[in-house]
């Protein structure tokens, strides 16, 4: 197949037609083209693709007559199947009013979770198709975003969702996220509460003075668990308001949550959010993009599953290279959940054995990943 040019904004659409007057081998995704019908009539639209675009009836008829391929919008859903960008907090939490905890139920995040549960329960064929298309679009948007960020800078921090904001481990992970971001890494997490939130919080606070993180942690301690969600959200939004991003890009980080675990709300400190419906795609993708390394903070079954998933990718060099695997808290990973010795045995005669390690402190982790980078 020919390479396809992707147009995901009206400005890109206009610029492309001004230069080429052709949409051959071009995919227009999620665009409102109802006021661009005249441009379509004047252009060569053979072998063009229109994915979830809004079109006037005459334009749709013309495209079909000219041999274009049109995938229509799937209506009646709380999410856009065809999207050209990642989510952010403003979109997922649109409609939420701090203090009005019931307002969470009207947000796109909550509505999409309810829709997902209904789709799974009924095996609804159209709903399932819409979710698959959505996840493909998010996957595409994520890889485009990482190409701009620099994939070699991505460090994933994995850990338990149940970690309370007042736990020592939560505080340490937040400090780790801050240190990595300040050192030029791009932190990626599962995007939820617990250790995931801690890492994204640390990245968010990286441009601010060190004492600001301590103050932010004091605010968050007012709602240490993510249930009830309203109190958890309110304190987080207060931190965002008191310590905003000085400018876009500073303190940025990635969250990759899933509606499969929709009872775990996405944390509000990830500046870019790639939220999926299929958890398997989400987990495999998150580990695959962490070329600069994966850090495993204390966690339970989910985190252990991710450990072995990452180990399998490294063991078989599934993506053509190995990436560092770092365990935070030696005692936890050698005695409480003795996974680290198993990995040492598995990796003994493999290249990833050279980038497998464990530490108790933050500074040696940053130094180790910097040396491997």
**Model confidence band, residue 1 (pLDDT cutoffs 50, 70, 90):** low
List pLDDT tens digits, range 76-96. Answer: 999 999 999 999 999 999 999
Q: What is the pLDDT of residue 17?
A: 97
Instruction: Tell me what the mean pLDDT of segment 339-360 comes to.
Output: 96
**Model confidence band, residue 199 (pLDDT cutoffs 50, 70, 90):** very high
List pLDDT tens digits, range 296-328. Answer: 999 999 899 999 999 999 999 988 889 999 999
Degrees (nearest 5) of the Cα angle 219, 212, 295? 90
Q: What is the pLDDT of residue 149?
A: 94
Give the Cα separation of 252 and 182 in Å (integer): 11
> Would you say residue 44 has pLDDT above 80?
yes
List pLDDT tens digits, range 128-186. Answer: 999 999 999 999 999 999 999 998 999 999 999 999 999 999 999 999 999 999 999 99
> Would you say residue 67 has pLDDT above 80?
yes
Instruction: Tell me what the mean pLDDT of segment 259-287 comes to.
Output: 92
Q: Give, to the nearest 10 degrees, the angle between helix 195-204 and helix 210-220.
A: 140
List pLDDT tens digits, range 14-30. Answer: 999 999 999 999 999 99
Q: What is the pLDDT of residue 246?
A: 81
Give the Cα separation of 231 and 43 in Å (integer): 53
Instruction: Tell me what the mean pLDDT of segment 343-354 comes to.
Output: 95
Q: What is the pTM of this model?
A: 0.94
Q: What is the pLDDT of residue 248?
A: 81
Residue/partner pairs of 180-184 with CB below 8 Å, 24 or more apart: 180/155, 180/366, 180/369, 181/206, 181/251, 181/253, 182/206, 183/366, 183/370, 184/153
Which phi and psi (to 5°) does residue 255 adopt? Answer: -120, 135
Residue 93 to residues 46, 109, 259: CA-CA distances in angstroms? 40, 6, 14
Q: What percent of the chain has pLDDT over 90?
A: 91
Domain ranges of the chain: 5-71, 150-372
Q: What is the pLDDT of residue 269?
A: 98
Instruction: Tell me what the mean pLDDT of segment 98-119 comes to.
Output: 97
Give the Cα separation of 90 and 122 in Å (integer): 30
The mean-pLDDT minimum among 13-17, 100-104, 125-129, 246-250 falls in 246-250
**What is the overall mean pLDDT for the chain?**
95
Give the Cα separation of 202 and 366 in Å (integer): 14
> Would you say residue 332 has pLDDT above 70?
yes
Q: What is the pLDDT of residue 249?
A: 84
Going 310 to 293 to 360 to 205, the CA torsion angle's sign is negative
Q: What is the pLDDT of residue 369?
A: 98
Q: Is 283 exposed, middle or buried (0-12, 13-18, 19+ CB in 10 A)?
A: buried
- Residue 83 tokens read as 């999207």
> Would you say residue 2 has pLDDT above 80?
no
Q: What is the pLDDT of residue 10?
A: 96
Q: Which fold has domain 150-372?
A: Rossmann fold (3.40.50)
């Amino acid at each position: 197949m020919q390479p396809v040019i992707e147009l995901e904004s009206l400005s890109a659409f206009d610029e492309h037609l001004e230069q080429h007057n052709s949409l051959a081998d071009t995919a227009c995704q999620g665009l409102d083209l109802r006021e661009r019908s005249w441009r379509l009539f004047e252009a060569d639209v053979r072998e063009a693709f229109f994915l979830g675009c809004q079109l006037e009836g005459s334009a749709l008829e013309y495209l079909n007559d000219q041999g274009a391929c049109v995938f229509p919008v799937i209506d009646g859903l709380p999410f856009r199947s065809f999207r050209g960008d990642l989510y952010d907090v403003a979109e997922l939490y649109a409609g939420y009013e701090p203090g009005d905890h019931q307002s969470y139920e009207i947000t796109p995040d909550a509505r999409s979770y309810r829709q997902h549960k209904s789709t799974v329960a009924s095996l609804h064929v159209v709903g399932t198709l819409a979710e698959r298309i959505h996840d493909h679009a998010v996957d595409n948007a994520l890889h485009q975003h990482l190409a701009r960020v620099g994939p070699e800078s991505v460090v994933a921090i994995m850990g338990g969702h149940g970690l309370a904001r007042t736990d020592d481990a939560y505080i340490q992970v937040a400090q780790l996220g801050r240190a990595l971001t300040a050192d030029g890494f791009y932190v990626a997490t599962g995007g939820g509460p617990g250790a995931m939130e801690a890492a994204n919080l640390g990245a968010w606070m990286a441009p601010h003075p060190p004492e600001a993180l301590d103050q932010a942690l004091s605010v968050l301690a007012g709602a240490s668990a993510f249930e009830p969600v309203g109190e958890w959200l309110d304190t987080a939004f207060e931190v965002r308001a008191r310590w905003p991003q000085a400018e876009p890009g500073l303190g940025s980080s990635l969250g990759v949550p899933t509606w499969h675990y929709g009872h775990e709300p996405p944390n509000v400190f990830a500046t870019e959010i790639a939220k999926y419906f299929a958890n398997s795609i989400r987990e495999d993708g998150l580990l695959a993009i962490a070329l600069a390394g994966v850090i495993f903070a204390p966690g339970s079954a989910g985190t252990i599953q991710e450990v072995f998933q990452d180990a399998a990718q490294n063991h078989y060099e599934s993506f053509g290279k190995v990436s560092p695997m770092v365990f935070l808290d030696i005692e936890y990973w050698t005695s409480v959940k003795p996974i680290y010795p198993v990995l040492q045995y598995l990796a003994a005669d493999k290249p990833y054995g050279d980038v497998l390690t464990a530490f108790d402190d933050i500074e040696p982790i940053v130094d180790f990943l910097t040396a491997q980078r």
